Amino acid sequence: MLVLARYPEIGMNGMGTQPIASTGTFRERRLPDPCAMVIFGASGDLTERKVIPALYYLVRERLLSDEYSVVGCGRTPFTHDQFRDKMRESVAEFLHLSAEERNQFPQGFGKRLFYQQGDFGEAAAYDKLRELLEQLDRERGTAGNRLFYLATPPSFFPVIVTGLGNARLARPQAPDQNWTRIVIEKPFGRDLASARDLNRSVTSVFSEEQVYRIDHYLGKETVQNLLVFRFANGVFEPIWNRRYIDHVQITVAEDLGVEERGSYYEEAGCLRDMIQNHVLQLLSLVAMEPPAAFRADAVRDEKAKVLRAIRPVPFDRVADSAIRGQYRAGHARGGPVPGYRSEPKVAANSTTETFTALKFFIDDWRWADVPFYLRSGKRLAKRASEIAIQFRRVPHLLFRDCATQRIDPNLLIVHIQPDEGMSLSFSAKLPGPVMKIRPVTMNFRYSEVFNASPPTAYETLLLDCMLGDATLFNRQDAVDLSWQLVDPILARWKEDGDRGLAFYDAGSWGPAEADAFLAADGRVWVPPDTTH
């Protein structure tokens, strides 16, 4: 079914009028099939903050079929109405609904919400779920299409998958007429062995084509726009290589601490929590070759090639390629904050890293000898996610006698969050009779050009799930390759204990060792958001 839908970036009020320059105000978009979406962990934080608000956005923007239903599953004893009331409050909070929209919620989106209480380990819960889904097929026209979303702690993933398989819910009733898919949140394993165990569990019940491993970073507009920037503009791709690019920096910085997630973070750490998934996915998009077509397998094939080409870090050379740090007490977000070891549910002598900086090389024809510097951390100076492409300096400086100390190389920055956009810096002559050269910057912001902020990642990814488009989702080979890269580093840090663990003040940009890490190569970190 095809519809003419307003482009999603028109804004949360659905009343935007900014046209897309190349295609006009409307674009052709296929509506998803009717379906029932089942959310396991429906009373959890992820469902309230992200999943349900994203679904409401899609409905309000008329990007879903009218024949849809949402079933929340959890252990909390909600009735249908209690669940609807709770979700109304969540949507109102995170989408800032008007009073009119709040009043319309029960008669619109709210009446599509249902709740099924049960223990994820009990077969009876899945039997009841199957009965409810069959009822929705008959009464709500969901047509036997099912999307299962695992918004639970990872320990429940194999339990739920097994339960769905035993209840005959994992396969479509008529493969040529309807479909069944499953969305699995990160972390997908905690090392290579556990990731493979989990995959064996999942693929023993679901086929690989049914599995959507979600990484919300890949749904962000600027991340997707990176592909358009590279492959829809003839000016950039010819210089996107070792001949013109000096190095690449990827920064994912958070100003928050671990808050109430101390027990989780003690098991995860920054390398598992951010680098293995989000940051390596960003790297693969920057470095990938042009795919033969913009289709899921073609794009994911090229991303996997990048990960396969990254030079492994030997166990005995980890210190040459990786820095780890942990925040101590300091000032952040306008006030004093405790150190990591003083956070709730964190060991007093914890060696868990809250900051990681890495250097990788990609051993292929395009990127040989170009370093990729990655860093991520908590309690840093500000929240910012950026990709900085540092071009090489000019080979010969013509303007030695002008009033300029130095000419900076060109710098392209992809701003992922909080303000999505791009910026390009270059040198220009100041007006006047004297040759004076200064750096200038061209900025592109989504909010300014399109008169609205882009939707969050979950709207995009949920819509793609329902459409059966896996382009922005992780395939198992990429998950394995990512773990192969970080496993030796994790093993070495575990053996070293607190040896080599650097400390940094909360509210800073990380440990001094991270600055020295780049200084040894004659480079410096690009301060986030300085040119935007």
Active site residues: 278
| H-assigned helices in 141-220 | 157-166, 192-203
3-state secondary structure of 183: strand
| H-assigned helices in 30-122 | 45-46, 52-60, 80-95, 99-104
Complete DSSP assignment for 233-277: -TTTGGG-STTTEEEEEEEEE-S---TT-HHHHHHHHHIIIIIII
What pairs with residue 336 in β-bridges? 331
How far apart are alpha carbons 239 and 246 in whole angstroms?
11
What is the β-pairing status of strands 501-505 and 355-361? unpaired
How far apart are alpha carbons 220 and 298 in whole angstroms?
20
> Do 427 and 393 touch, CB atoms closer than 8 A?
no
Cα dihedral 373, 378, 381, 383 in deg (nearest 10): 80
SS3 content of the chain, % helix, strand, coil (to 5): 40, 25, 40
| Sequence-distant (≥ 6) Cβ neighbours of residue 239 within 8 angstroms | 245, 391
Instruction: Identify the residue whose tokens are 């050269």.
Output: 437
3-state secondary structure of 67: coil
Instruction: Identify the residue whose tokens are 């899609």.
Output: 58
How far apart are alpha carbons 448 and 441 in whole angstroms?
16
Tokens representing 378 are 């908590």
Give the strands of the sheet with 437-445, arranged side by side: 437-445, 421-429, 411-417, 384-391, 245-253, 371-377, 355-361, 322-328, 501-505
| Sequence-distant (≥ 6) Cβ neighbours of residue 174 within 8 angstroms | 144
| H-assigned helices in 470-510 | 476-496
| Sequence-distant (≥ 6) Cβ neighbours of residue 145 within 8 angstroms | 33, 34, 35, 36, 172, 178, 179, 180
Q: How many CB atoms lie within 10 A of CB 244?
A: 14
> Do 377 and 358 touch, CB atoms closer than 8 A?
no
> Do 270 and 354 touch, CB atoms closer than 8 A?
yes
What is the β-pairing status of strands 355-361 and 322-328? antiparallel
How far apart are alpha carbons 157 and 143 in whole angstroms?
26
Identity at 71, one-letter amino acid code: V
Tokens representing 334 are 């306008």
Tokens representing 218 are 């890949």
